[in-house]
């Protein structure tokens, strides 16, 4: 019997059981994270405390920059000490439009943009996979989209108000453009993402290995352009401080020695999701600090 189709796409094209299991496995943890919090959920939206803290940091830095004040080593009033702006100076103006509203409103707008980014990312992933041969069904499309919005990996991005879904879209755009031999556009996308998060710069090594030199050039031009923009907007001292103090501070590994209990820090390491999983299954599990206390 032929499977039903909607807009020319079958509900189920093929049985990708392995991929389905991988995508579905990310959902229980994410849904649980929403369920156990009273500030965010299917019917709750109450920014404050840690909810939206990353966006609040962006918003605060943009306000300070507009006032001509220093935006590094400062935190929003009443925020935890980790809530410092950590991106290059040239990225701050991108958050200026959000200062037209109070930070909770801006946070809601960013969340909406993140969902839109997830939809576009899903479309590009589907287009890439289908360009390689197999057609995907609506079930596949839905699982990709839901995992980009509700999975345990994405919960922190939504809850804290981070820009990771927008950056993920940038990486997918880079790969999608590269697959279509639009090397400069691909490099620009990768370079823009690397301005915010340093690790995507490693993609440049992969591009070199594949001899995609125009993509490498586009990425370098974008990265250098972003840094130069910061110099022009805020002066050389601010960029020098970012390179010598902020970046070097993010490479310190001594802070991880001995591990951390759940909720004690917000560094993103493999230990963090594992610790959340263990605490959910075994709430009374001993932590490094409790062991030292004995």
Same-domain status, 231 and 273: no
Same-domain status, 228 and 264: no
What sign results for the dihedral spanned by CA atoms 148, 152, 155, 156?
A: negative
> According to the model, what pLDDT value does residue 116 have?
97
> Greater confidence, 3 or 37?
37
Confidence class for position 275, pLDDT limits 50, 70, 90: low
Q: Is the pLDDT of residue 292 over 50?
A: no
Interval 19-29: pLDDT, tens: 889 999 989 88
Confidence class for position 214, pLDDT limits 50, 70, 90: very high
> Greater confidence, 68 or 275?
68
Same-domain status, 176 and 287: no
- 27 and 151 Cβ atoms separated by less than 8 Å: yes
| Tokens linked to 179 | 């697959």
3-state secondary structure at position 205:
helix
**Mean predicted lDDT score pLDDT of the chain:** 84
How many domains, the chain? 2
Same-domain status, 172 and 88: yes
Interval 125-161: pLDDT, tens: 999 999 887 889 999 999 999 999 999 889 889 999 9
pLDDT average, residue stretch 104-123:
96
> According to the model, what pLDDT value does residue 6 have?
58
* Closest by CA position to 186, among listed 226, 228, 217: 217
pLDDT average, residue stretch 81-99:
93
Interval 169-205: pLDDT, tens: 999 999 999 999 999 999 999 999 999 988 878 888 8
User: What is the Cα–Cα distance from 187 to 204, expressed in whole angstroms?
Assistant: 9
- 139 and 11 Cβ atoms separated by less than 8 Å: yes
Alpha-carbon distances of 178 from 3, 169, 220, rounded to whole Å: 34, 14, 16
Same-domain status, 34 and 119: yes
Please state whether beta strands 5-6 and 9-10 pair in parallel, antiparallel, or not at all (unpaired).
Answer: antiparallel
Confidence class for position 235, pLDDT limits 50, 70, 90: very high
Same-domain status, 242 and 266: no
Structural domain of residue 170, as residue ranges? Answer: 5-250
Q: Is the pLDDT of residue 290 over 60?
A: no
- pTM of structure: 0.81
Position 255 in a domain: no
């Amino acid at each position: 019997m032929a499977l039903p189709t909607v807009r020319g796409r079958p509900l189920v094209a093929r049985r990708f059981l392995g991929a389905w299991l991988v995508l579905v496995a990310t959902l229980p943890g994410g849904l649980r994270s929403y369920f156990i919090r009273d500030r965010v959920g299917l019917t709750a939206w109450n920014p404050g405390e840690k909810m939206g803290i990353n966006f609040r940091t962006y918003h605060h830095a943009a306000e300070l920059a507009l006032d001509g004040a220093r935006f590094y080593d400062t935190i929003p009033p009443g925020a935890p000490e980790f809530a410092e702006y950590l991106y290059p100076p040239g990225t701050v103006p991108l958050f200026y439009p959000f200062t037209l509203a109070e930070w909770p409103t801006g946070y809601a707008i960013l969340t909406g943009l993140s969902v839109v980014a997830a939809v576009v990312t899903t479309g590009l992933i589907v287009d890439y996979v289908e360009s390689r041969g197999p057609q995907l069904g609506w079930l596949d499309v839905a699982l990709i989209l839901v995992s980009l919005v509700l999975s345990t990996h994405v919960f922190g991005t939504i809850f804290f108000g981070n820009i990771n879904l927008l950056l993920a879209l940038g990486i997918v755009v880079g790969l999608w453009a590269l697959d279509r031999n639009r090397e400069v556009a691909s490099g620009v996308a990768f370079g823009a993402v690397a301005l915010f998060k340093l690790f995507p710069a490693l993609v440049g090594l992969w591009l070199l290995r594949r001899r995609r030199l125009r993509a490498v050039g586009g990425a370098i031009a974008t990265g250098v352009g972003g840094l130069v923009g910061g110099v022009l907007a805020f002066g050389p001292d601010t960029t020098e401080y970012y390179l010598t103090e902020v970046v070097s501070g993010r490479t310190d590994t001594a802070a991880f020695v001995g591990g951390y209990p759940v909720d004690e820090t917000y560094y993103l390491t493999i230990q963090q999701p594992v610790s959340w999983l263990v605490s959910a299954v075994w709430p009374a599990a001993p932590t490094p600090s409790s062991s030292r206390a004995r």
